[in-house]
């Protein structure tokens, strides 16, 4: 036994260590604090790499936000770049891009909320009604395969489904002498395509959480309902649904708080290099991406990103407060 390196050199009764520590900490003097920190030194060592990561790649970049208020060019660095105050913000709000980007962002996000958000809930409810255990398992397993593939691959699948030249649907249609469907690259089909592919990709994975919530419902509730004469559908309506409301509300409110966030990678893939689709698909994030890295407008891009980030933060905070007020189900 190497008592020297053991952190409780004063005793082998380690069950009491935590309580000892706390009693040591009763005194909040500086030397107490230092002693405790020395006691825990290996813990600090453990968390050091992770913390360093967050500081360098999450907090240091926050410093870079000043670029939004300067005329920043890559070749001259931050300190050399002149201050321009809110010029970029003014430029953005007055530009013709602003209404289009806001509209697209809100429309797409809204569609996500109305269509893509409820789909996993519905799937969970349906899956729960399946009595054949193996079938349920099979469908579940298959349903979350798309969650694990990238949007590049999803885009490839969409290509071979819907493309006019190589997509199986159109190949079959033309073989039967029918008109091909223009889905990809079509502005009219963009929103349905977006919603449909988003649902396809995430419905199975999203259902896991709701299935878990349903599994947590006490069987006694169902028994009581049955004894009161509830049939199968009434049991779902009056037992299952109300029981998962807290989970749904939490997820919903956070989703609303993130209203300005759109699945950025999906947008990139669906729009591709087709500028004609920007009209319907270009959202704030995709525009920022192009402005920053293809048009060298780094300051402007940062300003817009900051605008979105701040609004997003406020919204999430509001959403969370609301969730707490309504049903104690906020995130913090």
Partner 1 sequence: MTKGNSHQVRDSLASRVFDALNYALLGLLGIVTLGPFIYLLLGALTEASYFRTVGVAISPAHWSLNSFRILLGSASRIYQALKVTVFITVVGTVLSLAVTSALAYGISRKTLIGRKVFIFLIFFSMLFGGGMVPFYLVVKWTGLIDKLWSLIVPFLVNAWYVFIMMRFFESLPPDLADAAQIDGCSGMQVFFRIVLPLSKPVLATIGLFYAVGYWNTWFWGTIFLVDDRLQPLQLVLRGILAQLLLVVDPETAMEAAKMDSQSMPPMEVLRMAAIIVTVLPITVVYPFLQKYFVKGVMVGAVKG
Query: Minimum CB separation from partner 1 for residue 114, in Å?
Result: 20
Q: 176 vs 332, which CB is nearer to partner 1?
A: 332
Question: Of these, 103, 182, 235, 255, which contacts partner 1 (CB under 8 A)?
Answer: 235
Please give the Cα distance from 14 to 189 (Å, whole number). Answer: 66
Q: 44 vs 110, which CB is nearer to partner 1?
A: 44
- Position 26 contacts partner 1 (CB under 8 A): no
- Position 240 contacts partner 1 (CB under 8 A): yes
Site string for partner 1, 93-112 (x = CB under 8 A): --------------------
Question: Of these, 29, 131, 179, 229, which contacts partner 1 (CB under 8 A)?
Answer: 131
Site string for partner 1, 256-285 (x = CB under 8 A): ---------x--xx--xx------------
Site string for partner 1, 43-82 (x = CB under 8 A): xx-xx-xxx-xxxxxxxxxxxxx-x---------------
Site string for partner 1, 157-176 (x = CB under 8 A): x-xxx----x-x--x-----
- Three-class DSSP category at 156: helix
Please give the Cα distance from 120 to 126 (Å, whole number). Answer: 10
- Position 318 contacts partner 1 (CB under 8 A): no
Nearest to 101 by CA among 264, 287, 306, 296: 287
Query: Minimum CB separation from partner 1 for residue 95, in Å?
Result: 18
Query: Minimum CB separation from partner 1 for residue 49, in Å?
Result: 5
Nearest to 299 by CA among 26, 90, 51: 90
- Position 237 contacts partner 1 (CB under 8 A): no
Nearest to 140 by CA among 197, 244, 212: 212
Q: 195 vs 236, which CB is nearer to partner 1?
A: 236
Q: How many CB atoms lie within 10 A of CB 274?
A: 13
Alpha helix stretches (DSSP H) within the chain = 17-24, 30-39, 41-54, 60-63, 77-80, 87-94, 97-111, 118-128, 133-143, 151-162, 168-175, 187-215, 219-227, 232-235, 241-257, 264-271, 278-281, 284-293, 298-327
Please give the Cα distance from 10 to 306 (Å, whole number). Answer: 53
Query: Minimum CB separation from partner 1 for residue 291, in Å?
Result: 9
Place of tokens 């006691």: 39
């Amino acid at each position: 036994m190497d008592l020297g390196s053991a952190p409780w050199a004063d005793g082998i009764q380690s069950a009491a260590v935590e309580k000892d520590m706390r009693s040591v900490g009763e005194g909040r003097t500086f030397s107490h604090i230092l002693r405790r920190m020395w006691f825990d030194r290996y813990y600090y060592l453990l968390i050091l790499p992770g913390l360093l990561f967050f500081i360098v790649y999450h907090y240091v970049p926050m410093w870079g936000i000043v670029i939004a208020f300067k005329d920043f060019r890559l070749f001259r660095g931050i300190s050399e770049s002149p201050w321009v105050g809110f010029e970029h913000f003014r430029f953005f709000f007055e530009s013709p891009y602003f209404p289009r980007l806001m509209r697209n962002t809100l429309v797409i996000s809204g569609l996500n909320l109305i269509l893509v958000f409820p789909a996993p809930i519905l799937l969970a409810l349906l899956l729960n009604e399946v009595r054949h255990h193996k079938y349920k398992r099979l469908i579940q397993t298959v349903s979350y395969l798309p969650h694990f593939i990238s949007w590049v691959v999803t885009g490839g699948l969409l290509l071979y489904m819907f493309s006019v030249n190589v997509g199986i649907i159109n190949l079959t249609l033309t073989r039967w002498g029918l008109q091909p469907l223009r889905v990809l690259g079509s502005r009219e089909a963009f929103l349905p395509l977006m919603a449909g592919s988003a649902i396809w990709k995430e419905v199975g994975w999203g259902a896991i959480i709701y299935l878990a919530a349903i599994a947590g419902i006490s069987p006694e509730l169902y028994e009581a309902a049955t004894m009161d004469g509830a049939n199968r559908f009434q049991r779902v309506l009056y037992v299952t649904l109300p029981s998962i409301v807290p989970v749904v509300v939490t997820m919903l409110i956070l989703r609303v708080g993130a209203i300005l966030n759109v699945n950025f990678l999906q947008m990139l893939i669906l729009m591709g290099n087709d500028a004609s689709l920007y009209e319907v698909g270009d959202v704030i994030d995709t525009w920022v991406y192009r402005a920053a890295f293809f048009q060298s407008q780094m300051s402007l891009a940062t300003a817009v990103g900051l605008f979105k980030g701040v609004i997003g933060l406020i919204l999430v905070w509001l959403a969370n407060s609301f969730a707490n007020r309504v049903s104690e189900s906020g995130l913090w």
